[in-house]
Amino acid sequence: MAVKTANQKDVALPRLRLRKAHRKSRNGCRNCKLRRVKCDEVQPACRRCSAYGVLCNYGSDAPDLQMAREMEDPAVISADATTTLELTREGRDHLISFEKSGTLLTIATVHHKELLQLACLNPYLMHVVLAIAATHNRLRGTPTPRGPSTFESYHVSQCAALLSRKLSQPLQPEDRDPLWMTSTLLGIISTSSIPSLTPQEVWPLKSSYTSDLEWLRMAEGKMAVWRLADPLRPNGLFRDMADEYAQMYDSPLCTEIDRVPLALARICGITPSSSPNTNPYFTAVHTLAPVLGEYPGQPSRARILSFTSRMDRPFKSLLHARDPVALLLLSLWYIKAGDVVWWLRLRARVEYQSICIYLRRYHADRWDILDLLSCGVKQSAALHDILSPSQPRSSCSFPSISTPV
């Protein structure tokens, strides 16, 4: 605005700025009032508090400026010289579950605190610990089996990449325990993972692929790591597992023919003069026979796993060739293994049924094999009766695919 003075010169006068009328709200949270910022009054938590990382406090009983739980939780970090892994909330939950669910106790007799210390120093081990915790939760906590989650697949792939890089470098003494633990957990994950829950879509019914029996080949890779890591050395993480590992790998094989069910000895051609050099089923039969005579829950983890840890290459070749006798032995082992080892349970259910269908479809003339499979879920008890006729018949049953793991 301008006005003219006596000498007709324009003089500028200041504009008046009118303040817009408004109502001052007193409904904001106390945190915003204390911080002297405008609260958007969104309930139950305003955006100002969420961004600041505190719990919003509209109620009179809520504390002022209390840090939110996700901010309170200490960060869990696994790091080495080249890699840093900071766990997400989901990762921390799985790490807690790994301890509270007793996952480690089902796998190895090692100290939980020592393992977590190693995992915090070796990201590849932390990745696989998270994956195995998620796998255990999935297989034991759902009413129906399902495949691996994205979380599991991501951490397995990250572990594999970091482990490959570690193995390409000179190994230090402190690398031995984490390397063996990682290879053990990767082997378990490989064993628990199957391509389908339908018997017709898994080995041996499906078409041949190079990935057939990949989980068995993992055992050979583990033995290479065993030689590098020497897990049973004094003061190692696995120092308390000497007896269990000896039972799995090194204990003398019981070769008494009277311990083998007569029907099974005939099918496999086992005689008093048989040996591993003359009979490709010899080691598998004599490793399996002791657990066939035990009721569900009696075989130990080591006695069950010795079947695969002692499996020689001639027998593996017979499995790849879908030899009916080798398939019979594997199916009988599945019945026992599914009762004892949680990471074998799903594979045992599905591939056992696939083997039964395969044998009936392509080897219908092998009545001697089919006789051992004819009672389906009850042959484990029948074989126990052959070995211990004075014992009452077991009521054990092999679970179907729809039964919870």
pLDDT in tens, the chain (405 residues): 555 555 555 555 556 555 555 566 778 888 888 777 888 888 878 888 877 777 888 876 777 777 665 444 567 889 998 999 999 989 999 999 998 888 999 999 898 899 999 999 999 999 999 999 999 999 886 667 778 899 999 999 999 999 999 989 998 999 999 999 999 999 999 999 998 889 999 999 987 776 788 888 887 778 888 888 999 998 889 988 988 888 888 888 888 888 899 999 999 999 999 999 999 999 999 999 988 877 766 678 888 999 999 999 999 999 999 999 999 999 999 999 988 899 999 999 999 999 999 999 999 999 999 988 764 444 444 444 444 433 333 333 443 433 333
Give Cα 161 distance to the centre of its chain.
Answer: 18
Half-sphere exposure of 19 (CA within 13 A, CB side): 3
Topology of the domain comprising 23-71:
CD2-Gal4 (4.10.240)
pLDDT at 296: 66
CA distance 289 to 274: 15
pLDDT at 42: 84
- Residue ranges of domains in the chain: 23-71, 75-193, 249-387
368 backbone dihedrals φ, ψ, rounded to 5°: -65, -40
CA distance 158 to 128: 8
Sequence-distant (6+) residues with CB within 8 A of 12 are 1, 2
CA distance 399 to 349: 7
CA distance 257 to 236: 38
CB distance 66 to 57 below 8 Å: yes
pLDDT at 247: 84
pLDDT at 377: 41
